[in-house]
Structure formats: structure tokens, C-alpha cells
Amino acid sequence: MQISLSKNSEVPLRQQLAEQIVVAITTGQLRAGEQLPSVRALARRVKIHHNTVSEAYQDLVRRKWLTRQPGSRLIVGERPKSRDKLPESLDDLIDESIERAREMGYTLQALTQRVRERLLAQPPDHILVVSEESGLRELIRAEVRQKFDYLAEVCSPEEFAANPARAVGAQIFAPVHVINGLNAKFVITITYSKADEQVGLIRALKKPSIIAAVSVSESLLTRARGMFAAAIARRHTYREVVMPKKGQMNLSGVDLAFCDSLSINRVDCKSKVQYSLVSSSCLKQFAAAIEAIQSPPMPG
């Protein structure tokens, strides 16, 4: 996990640290169940007061990015484990179903017939993006559409909880901290792209500049603030722009704008760079899921 903090930035160290840990989780540098360094160990490593690290950790626990374990250990949030052992393969699942059907008094012939009927009656599977903020949901949906010309359904965790039937036939995509609260089996964790390229562009600027982050998502802007803080420091001027749903945005006074996938074509400025939210590795998982959804069923 790479942490780069600036004591000269106007962004508080606690916020810089918290958002960079979030980025480490969403980009896959930190994985579900992985233990975080102790407060004092991380404080020594990044050379800040341990109270600042403690405050950042507490904020991430409150936001459900981190989970506190017995003994005060902090780990990256992970899906809760069932008390019962889950089947580890399709054969295990079939064996469990056969055994359960026999216990309920059904014959193997009746089970075979009913499974066949149910499979034939099932509609095609679909993709469902579950995320807390509407801006993030729309960004993910737009990037799926741009890459694959395929529309995904979207909903919030609250909407999902209120209607569990949304999980039926759905291949779900959600950030790791959202997955914790979903009672669903077919889930792929969304990982976000790193900001190394954007940070490198900022550091390469030869003179003080006005830099803007433009997005339909306020939470994405918050993460950008934490990631860019060290590179911007007090040398450059930083602006955050929440993009409206419609219309153009004139940023003629901005030297360099980092725009999300929904904003890039609606921003006018001297220089702009697109930031793709979903990582390339995650898009490969999207591709595999979409291929499976679109493939015709095998003849019975």
C-alpha cells in the first residue's frame, strides 16, 4: 500500500490518509480480509501523529471500508461467512440438492423433471450494479455501455435490501464495502483504476497551474482530493467541479482538467484527460459475465 502525504496541503492529513486507503482498497492493492498496520506502525511509516492515523481508521470503520476484529485488529471489509459450510463446487451443490430432496420425500425422477422445467422457464441473466452513490452507479453503467454496448441495471444498497428479488438471475457488481451488506451469491467485486497517471501528469507540470477534477460523482471527487493532495501541495491551485446532468461546462481558466467518462465530452478547457473509473482487470470480468449472459443456452 503506497501512501504519499503532504503537510503543506490544505487537505487535512487525516482525510488524505483515509482517501488513499480507500483508493488502495478499490484498486485491489488491499484485498478483503487483509489486515491493516497498527495505528502506531502506520504513523511511524508515514511520519505523522498516531492520533491522525487513529482518526482516519475510525472514519473508515464508520464508513464500512474497514472492519474491527477481536483484539482491535483492523481488516479490509469482507463478505460475512455463513455458519454452514458452503458447497465448493457445482457437483457439491448438486449432491446437496439431491440429499435435501430425498429428505423431503421427493424421488430423483421428480427432482430431475422439476429442475428441467425451472431451467427452461428462467429468463436470461442480467447485470446489476449496486453502489451507494447515484453518480458512481451512472459512471459504472456508462463505462460498461461504452466498452461493451450493454446496458446494466443499477440500484442502491437500500433498494436492494428492500427488494431482495433483485438478486434473482442477476450477476451483481459492487464495491467491496457494499458487498458486505448484500445477501447474494453471484457477486463480482468492482475495483477502480489507480490514479498514478494523473498524479504523474501533475508532477510533470513545469509551472504553477490551475488543476480541476470534474465528475458527476461527489465521492469520486473526494477520493481525487486525497490522491492529488501531495502532488498539488501549495504549488498548484486545485478545483473540484460537480458536473450537472446536462449541458456543457466552460473551464477556460483551468490549465488541466481530469474528467470522468460522463464529463469528458462536455468540458471545454485548455487541456483535459479522461479518468476511467473501472479498472481494466475488472472490465475483463465484466466481459466474461456479459459473454455468459449473451450466450444462448445449450440444447437440452
Global pTM value = 0.69
Among 242-251, 271-280, 288-297, the least confident range: 288-297
Pick from 34, 15, 22: nearest CA to 65: 22
Q: Are residues 161 and 109 in the same domain?
A: no
Q: Are residues 237 and 264 in the same domain?
A: yes
- The stretch 59-65 carries a mean pLDDT of 91
Q: 73 is in which domain, residue-wise? A: 1-77
pLDDT of res. 106: 83
Whether residue 229 contacts residue 198, with contact meaning beta carbons closer than 8 Å, is answered with: no
pLDDT of res. 124: 38
Band of pLDDT at residue 196, cut at 50, 70 and 90: very high
Q: How far is CA 164 from each of CA 129, 158, 167, 197, 300, rounded to the nearest angstrom?
A: 14, 10, 6, 39, 30
Indicate the SS3 state at residue 209.
coil
What's the structural domain count of the chain? Answer: 4
- CATH code for the domain of 18: 1.10.10.10
Q: Are residues 111 and 217 in the same domain?
A: no
Grid cell at residue 27: 484498486
CB atoms within 10 A of CB 78: 15
pLDDT of res. 167: 77
In the chain, the largest separation of any two C-alpha atoms, in whole Å, equals 79
Q: Are residues 164 and 289 in the same domain?
A: yes
Q: What percent of the chain has pLDDT above 90? A: 55
SS3 content of the chain, % helix, strand, coil (to 5): 45, 15, 40
